[in-house]
Amino acid sequence: MTPSPTDRISHTRRLTMSAMFATLALIFTYVEVLIPFSIGIPGVKLGLANLVILIALYEMGFRYAMAINLLRICLSGLLFSGIFAMFYSLAGGVISLCVMWALKRTKLFSMVGVSMAGGVAHNFGQVIVAAIVVENVRMFLYFPVLLVSGIAAGIGIGVIAYVLDRRLPRQLFGTSTSNI
């Protein structure tokens, strides 16, 4: 069965938006690399790229958001941080997106709440990888620090994403949004 011209246009639009979102997320990641934000606390970051991922999740669906996220993580790992750091980002990014998708599907949480949970889940994923790499469960003692930073950054990113999402023209994303 061949797709209709409308389906092809919608698919092309989503593919184009995915490429632009992946590029924007990569730029935000690079900007974050340039900002010495950690204020002396290792592992604390703003999560600027999550702005893009969160909007992609809400407007384009899980599959597109995951593709954008994976592409951004792999490219930023190769360009900025190295293969080893890419595994930390991969664990945090995948767990974070899965948690955000699950909470979004419940329709019980706002975009800000979903983002906050994503920030915490991202940090939790990274602590899991760190505990595995150093073979020491004591890495979880650092999680309360990352919990607080994940909540704060998640709320901030969620508020910004909500405001941006409300201002973006709906026709950018095609005729309908996908939940899967």
Model confidence over 23-58: pLDDT tens digits? 999 999 999 888 866 556 676 788 999 999 999 999
In a domain, 180, yes or no: no
Q: Give the number of domains in the chain.
A: 1
Could you tell me the pTM of the whole model? 0.88
pLDDT at 171: 77
User: Assign residue 43 a region: left if phi > 0, alpha if psi is -120 to 50, beta otherwise?
Assistant: left
Q: What pLDDT does 6 receive?
A: 65
Q: How far apart are the first and last CA of the chain?
A: 22
Q: 99 in a domain, yes or no?
A: yes
Give yes or no for a contact between 157 and 46, defined as CB atoms under 8 angstroms apart.
yes
Residue 127 lies in a domain: yes
Q: What is the pLDDT of residue 1?
A: 63
Mean pLDDT of the chain: 89
Is residue 28 situated within a structural domain? yes
Residue 24 sits in which domain range? 5-173
CA distance 148 to 120: 8
Question: What is the pLDDT, as a whole number, of residue 175?
Answer: 47
Of 150, 174, 128, which Cα lies nearest the Cα of 50? 150
The reply to whether 130 falls in a domain is yes
178 within domain boundaries: no
* CA 33/CA 76 separation, integer angstroms: 10
Q: Which two tokens stand for residue 93?
A: 């990014």
In a domain, residue 179? The reply is no
Predicted confidence (pLDDT) per residue in 126-154, tens digit: 999 989 999 888 888 989 999 999 999 99
82: CATH: 1.10.1760.20
